[in-house]
Structure formats: structure tokens, C-alpha cells
Amino acid sequence: MLHRNLVHLYQGFGRAIWPLIGSSYAPCLKSSGAFLPHTQHSTADTLVIRNQYPLTANTTEPFSVGIHPWYVGGSQVPPCGWRQLSGGEALVPLAKHPNCWAIGECGLDKNITTPLPLQQEIFLKHIYLAETLELPIIIHCVKAYSEVLHLRKITKTKQLWILHGFRKNLKVAKECIAHNIALSFGKPLTYSPQLQEVYKSISPEYRFFESDDEEMSISKFTNFLIDKFAN
């Protein structure tokens, strides 16, 4: 989920999505972003964006929508594969919904059996949809960083891309940022020296945070960031 502070507008997003931080973050952490667990809700100074699946989307709160590469074939649960969406037609109305703030989670995963060319085909459809609607895109990437960077280059798209669950080194991080791809850090940031080096070395507007893989409260992540990086 995407967490936005209602103070600093980040122009890289097509719609008025806000670069992040809750009011309790230290000043040096301004413009950072966060993906938050499903137990979190929007407050007076933050906006929580929930990832939704096309056939089961709840549009009553701000959300992102897309087809995860795990479900591209349509044989898994939840039932939201590309075939079951009639070629993705069900995705477009949701993406145009006023509460939709981003496209995704979508992307490429080399650890699954779905052929990579099919994954790339569906990912490209998400990319062009995000570009058409001027929305950022949230990307699932497993062992496919070179392919994601290649698609960024050949599509020449302008909207911000956000890599979900970044765990690579500084060299890869710099390559991503050079192509206007932001990085989202999860709980490993709290114990990985390599990720902490990446975090400290990149510009704040390219930092996002997430905790959807492991429950972590906003306050706990905030306290860690302040204690570790505020000075």
C-alpha cells in the first residue's frame, strides 16, 4: 500500500499523488514514500493506497490495480488472470476510477513457470495503461532487473515506476534511478547493511517503504528511520 503525506507534491506522478511521509517523520526524511500493511488506513495527514485485484477490487478507498505476474495465466487464486479479464478489459474501468492512484502490482518474475514473453506482453499493457492515464506503476521484479530496465528504455515512458521489495546493491539502485525508477524498501532495510547503504546514497524522492510482506506499523518503521538516519 502507498502512504502519502499531504504536504509535498511530487511532480513525477501524473495524478496528484504525494511524496511521502507521515507527520512524525524527521525533516530529513521528507519526500520518502511507503507501502503499508493492510491494517493501515488513511489519516488526516496521510493517504494509504491499497493494492487491489481487478475482479475483487474495493473502490471505496484509494487503491492501485493490476495483474500480478503470478496470476497472468489465470489458474491461480485469486481469479484475476488476464484471460479471465477478457484481455484486460475489466482492468481499464478500474484504472480510470477516481480512487485509483496507481497501476500495479505488475511486472516480471523468473521464479514462476509462466513464460517470460507472456509476462512481458501483459506487463507492457500495464505500462501503456499507466502512461495513458498518467499514473505511477508499482512493479514486482524477481531476477528480471535487466528486462525491466530494457522495457523502460525502449518504451520511453515518463511516469514514475516504483520497484516493490528492492533488495539489490547500490550499483543496481543507481541504474534504476538513472531511468527514473524509484525503490521501495521493506523490513530488510532494518537489518541489511547493503540496503542501508543504498538508502543513504539515493535521493529522498526515490525512497519508498513497504510492509505488506510482514506486519510492521507506521510508527515502528518511522522510529527506525529516525533512529538510524536522522543524524
**Residue 10 resides in a domain:** no
**Residue 41 resides in a domain:** no
Residue type at 175?
A: E
Q: What is the pLDDT of residue 18?
A: 32
Q: Are 152 and 67 contained in the same domain?
A: yes
Q: Are 152 and 172 contained in the same domain?
A: no
Residue where a domain terminates, one of 102, 124, 156: 156
Q: What is the pLDDT of residue 227?
A: 85
Q: What is the pLDDT of residue 173?
A: 97
Phi, psi of 89 (to 5 degrees): -60, -30
Structural domain harbouring 124: 54-135+148-156
> How many Cβ atoms are within 10 Å of 102's Cβ, its own excluded?
27
Q: What is the pLDDT of residue 30?
A: 30
Q: Are 63 and 152 contained in the same domain?
A: yes
Q: Are 152 and 185 contained in the same domain?
A: no
Q: Are 66 and 123 contained in the same domain?
A: yes
- Name 60's Cβ contacts closer than 8 Å, sequence gap at least 6: 99
Q: 138: closest CA among 159, 115, 161?
A: 161
Give the CA-trace dihedral at 177, 168, 156, 82, to 10 degrees: -140
User: Which residues, listed in sequence order, are joined to residue 230 by a DSSP beta bridge?
Assistant: none
**Residue 45 resides in a domain:** no
Q: 13: closest CA among 156, 176, 136, 183?
A: 136
CA distance from start to end of the chain: 28
Number of domains, the chain: 2
**Residue 127 resides in a domain:** yes
**Residue 13 resides in a domain:** no
Q: Are 152 and 178 contained in the same domain?
A: no
Q: Are 189 and 170 contained in the same domain?
A: yes
**Residue 208 resides in a domain:** yes
**Residue 112 resides in a domain:** yes
Q: What is the pLDDT of residue 216?
A: 65
Q: What is the pLDDT of residue 44?
A: 57
pLDDT along the chain (231 residues), means of 10: 33 32 25 44 63 80 87 58 57 89 92 92 92 93 96 94 93 95 88 94 86 62 78 61
Q: Are 128 and 62 contained in the same domain?
A: yes
**Residue 98 resides in a domain:** yes
